[in-house]
Amino acid sequence: MSTKSGQAHLSSLEPARALALIDAGGASAFRAAAFIFGHGEAEPAHVYTSARHDDMAAVLLKEGEYQDTAVGTAERFFRHLHYFQSQLDYWGRLKMAREAGRVDPLVQETFAPLLEGSGRYISAFADDVPEESIEQITGVPRERWLRRNGAILVDQPMAEMKPEEINDLVDRGRQGVLASFFKLAALRLVPDGVPAPVTTPERVDAFLAAHPRLAIVVPGFHLKGIAPVSVFLHAEGSVRRYQLGEPQLAAGNEPELLAMQGMFSAFVDDDHIPGGEGWRKLGEALQQLCAAHEEWARQLNEYLERHGITQVLFMLRGTDHVYLPWEELHTGPGGPRLGERYLIGYVHTLADLGMVAPAWMPQRQGTVQLHGGGKFREQMKVARECQLALAAQGHGLPPLSGEEACDARRLHAELRSCRRVRLFLHAHHDRLNPEQDRITLVDAEEQTARVDLKASELRCLPLAGVECVELWACEGAAHGRSLAEHGPAEEPEDVSAAFLQAGARRVVASRWQVPALTSALMMERFALLVGQGWGEAAALRSAREECRAAFRSGGIIERHLRGSVATLGPGLHASLEKAFMEAVLQLRESWGAQKRENWNSSSLMQAMGRLVRYVPPRSTELSVPTYDSSVQRADAQIAEYLQPFQNPLCWSGWRLIVRRLEDWDTATCIKKA
């Protein structure tokens, strides 16, 4: 059952039962993952590497601080469980793509690199690993292995695989998952003999009754035409359901649908438009999307206000409207946004996934901080300075670089005991092929030199019980898929879902691409608020609105620029950069951030780029026509300089996703002055 059928055909049911059934219609694999991930630590690799043979061979020989750490039976079993689950996902996806590609040219084109090109799966083992274990795990006979410098490499090119080989690998993955699971179940380390986590009407009723100021909103498959938006809340002693709009067939020319299509087209076009033009068009498309849905926001706001609602949890359902930035929608012409009126969060499922932190785990403390490295480390310099300032104020540990985090044993040791995780790095979400989703520890222009962590590796991180993973990166919560041939269309497969599956209680991430500078400022302000006792939902709302206000027309940044450069003539551009740096430092100091001496104009200019790739959202040279007076010229240049930061894409994409309903409560605390 999908959201489409759930919304359209369950209206006659008692509301709590209808919501439970709607929840059962999506995120089934996400719920099932609660049996597999987050219950105990998996044995990590020695280091994270690129996929090059020589690189993988060399790192296996690396004498690292954590290489000789003793690994117990449970850790090896968990490692096998996660490995075989990754194999099952990978080869199962390849099998489905091949079969669907025979009849659908679009699928064939989309997965061409996987089906026809250079796609490959490379496994690396130290030469002291028993050969029969390698053969059992990979299914590749020994004569096809590569032996280099004390390492055994198993290379499996996708295009060369026959259907029977893929079927064998799928079966091998399935059998490996079962065998590993039952070994862990015998040790009572994973749940066994218990039913799958499914939401019940009683759970829905009890939770909403205990949260009378909270509403759960389920967007339809499309906001207009297919199925309405449903709002569930507790009033007059029971769960109530309110629907925005009436179910009807879509004509295809509704403003909401056209605006959504325009947004998707702008994302595609942005990949081919150099400089800041694509960024500008993306912002315009987002504004059109929000304007098209303003009437829905007005109706939703009226209903929530009438019932005294102050908090909203949106279920991530549908293939398109997971992208809709509800926080950005105005409640009327010139009125406040929903994000200003309500504390907003997102959830994949209402089912009780259970607590994943093992009873033996020590109490978690501290915040691990990490910033990306590699080719574009200069782009990360501002974020590093923010993280160093936060560490000096006791809001985090000294930050790790991406290169340092490549030591997998060290990274696992840091994550094993921390309470929070703060990441600032490059990330990518592929709307068609989930295998391309990643965060990047060490970036490079050449893919083969890049060190990425994909979902299969993120799910193995020891995050059980971590309060929150802050993913300050592009597209960490992009979620959506356009094709269902690789799995259910409503199944969360983005990077944020991998962190939740690993056991994190909450994740902060962005729907789309974001500039490095604004993300670093959001990260710092958010961390300072959380350090003062604010919950993540409240801190994210406040950080977003404070940063947006600082950069808007007439805000603190513009006022400082006008006061500093209004009367300057030649050399205005250089003076503008210096004044901009001073304004940003003043903004940070107004929050109580620690001032450091390493901030400079060059660092800020490097941070103008987006975190998905190094493409500045504005040109480095301002193109302002000639004006009669220096004041007019300065005003025009200031306006052009700040225009990229007034783009709603800078602020509206950040969302808070919770693993389960019980993880919402602590996110809503607001520290009173």
How is residue 23 written in tokens? 């929840």
Encode pLDDT of 485-509 as tens digits: 444 456 777 899 999 999 999 999 9
Determine the Cα–Cα distance for residues 96 and 672; give it in Å rounded to an integer.
53
DSSP letters along 605-650, please?
A: HHTTSBSSSS--SS-SS------SSHHHHHHHHHHHHHGGGGSTHH
Q: Which of 161-170, 313-322, 386-395, 492-501 has the lowest mean pLDDT?
A: 313-322
- pLDDT of 622 reads 47
Angle at the Cα of 529 from the Cα atoms of 414 and 513, rounded to 5 degrees: 75
- pLDDT of 550 reads 95
Contacts of 630 (CB under 8 A, 6+ apart): 566, 567, 568, 569
- pLDDT of 662 reads 93
Q: Would the pTM count as exceeding 0.85?
A: yes
What percent of the chain has pLDDT above 70?
78
Contacts of 272 (CB under 8 A, 6+ apart): 278
How is residue 443 written in tokens? 């970036």
Range 646-659 average pLDDT: 93
Band of the pLDDT at 249, cuts 50, 70, 90? low
Band of the pLDDT at 665, cuts 50, 70, 90? confident
Determine the Cα–Cα distance for residues 215 and 241; give it in Å rounded to an integer.
10
DSSP letters along 331-372, please?
A: SSTTPPBHHHHSEEEEES--S-----S-TTSPPP-SEEEEE-
**What is the helix (H) or strand (E) element at residue 270, kind and residue range?**
helix 255-270
Provide φ and ψ at 347, rounded to 5°.
-145, 140
Encode pLDDT of 65-123 as tens digits: 334 444 467 888 888 888 888 888 888 878 887 887 777 777 777 677 666 655 667 77
Q: Which has the closest alpha carbon to 240: 171, 304, 318, 151?
A: 304
Determine the Cα–Cα distance for residues 99 and 53; give it in Å rounded to an integer.
30
CB 560 within 8 A of CB 638: no
Q: Which has the closest alpha carbon to 441: 429, 423, 456, 455?
A: 423
Residue with tokens 């909403």: 208
Encode pLDDT of 368-394 as tens digits: 999 999 887 788 888 999 999 999 999
Determine the Cα–Cα distance for residues 328 and 316; give it in Å rounded to an integer.
17
Encode pLDDT of 252-310 as tens digits: 677 888 888 888 888 877 767 766 778 888 889 999 999 988 988 999 999 999 999 99
- pLDDT of 524 reads 96
- Residue 578's Cβ-count burial label (10 Å; 0-12, 13-18, 19+) is middle
If one counts every other C-beta atom within 10 angstroms of the C-beta of residue 602, the result is: 12
Contacts of 558 (CB under 8 A, 6+ apart): 551, 552, 638, 642
CB 519 within 8 A of CB 420: no
Q: Which has the closest alpha carbon to 424: 351, 344, 506, 368?
A: 368
Encode pLDDT of 568-602 as tens digits: 555 666 678 888 888 999 999 999 888 766 666 55
- pLDDT of 450 reads 78
- pLDDT of 347 reads 95
Residue 53 has pLDDT above 50, yes or no: no
CB 669 within 8 A of CB 542: no
Query: Is the Cα torsion angle 30, 36, 40, 42 positive or negative in sign?
Result: negative
Angle at the Cα of 112 from the Cα atoms of 106 and 117, rounded to 5 degrees: 170
Q: Which has the closest alpha carbon to 78: 180, 179, 196, 207?
A: 180
Q: Which has the closest alpha carbon to 594: 310, 390, 327, 344?
A: 390
Cα–Cα distances in angstroms (integers) from residue 4 to residues 78, 224, 368, in the given order: 37, 12, 41
